[in-house]
Structure 1
Amino acid sequence: MKMFQQFWNDENGFVVSTELVLIATVLVLGMIVGLTTLRDQVIAELADVAAAFSNSNQSYSFSGITGHSSSTSGSLFTDNTDFCDVATMTAEEFAHCISIVVAEPEGS
C-alpha cells in the first residue's frame, strides 16, 4: 500500500493535461487526413481494377487440336448480357450500376 501511495504522489515526469489535449488533437487531425488520402487511393485503385475487367476480352475461344496419338477438345466463352448492359434502363435501375467514363484526349 505504501508503494502505491508513493506512485500516486510522485510528480516527476508529469505532463500537463493541456499538452496531452494538444498532442491528441494534432494526432487525430493527422490521422483523419491520412485516412482520407488512403480512402481516395483505394477508390482510385478499385476503379482501375474495374476498368481492367471491363476491357477484358470475354469472347475467348479455341478449337480442338488433334495430334498423332492424342487430341484436346476446344473451349468457348460468350459474354451474356449483364444487368447493367441493357440500353433501356430507368434512372433508378441505373443507380445500381457502376459506370466508368474515360474522357477522350483532345485531338483524337
Structure 2
Amino acid sequence: MTNLFSALINDEAGFIVSAELVLVATIGVLGLLVGLSEIAWGLNEEMEDVGAAFGSVNQSYAYRGTAGCKGYIAGSHFEDEYDECDSQFNLSCDIYAEPESY
C-alpha cells in the first residue's frame, strides 16, 4: 500500500494535461460569457425594434354617421396620440438612470 501511495504522489504524467485543460476551460468560459452578453444586447435591440414597430402603428379610426327618414346614427372618431417611449432607441444599457423618488 505504501508503494502504491508513493507511486501516486510521484506520478506527474497527467499534471501538464490537467493544467492545460483548466486553462482552456477558463478561456472557453470567458469567451462564452462575452458571447452571451453580446447575444443579450442584440436580443434587447431587436425587441426594442419590435416594440417601436407596434408603437408606430396608427390606431386612429373614424366612421361617418348615417341618416334617413326615420332615424340616424352618429359617427365616431378617435385619434391616436404619441406615447412616451414610443420611438426607437429608448433602450440603452450604457447610461445609468437614477431611480425616481416618489
TM bin (shorter chain): 0.3 to 0.5
Which structure has the greater CA radius of gyration? 2
With normalisation by structure 2, the TM-score equals 0.46
Structure number with higher relative contact order (C-alpha < 8 Å, ≥ 6 residues apart): 2
TM-score, structure 1 normalization: 0.44
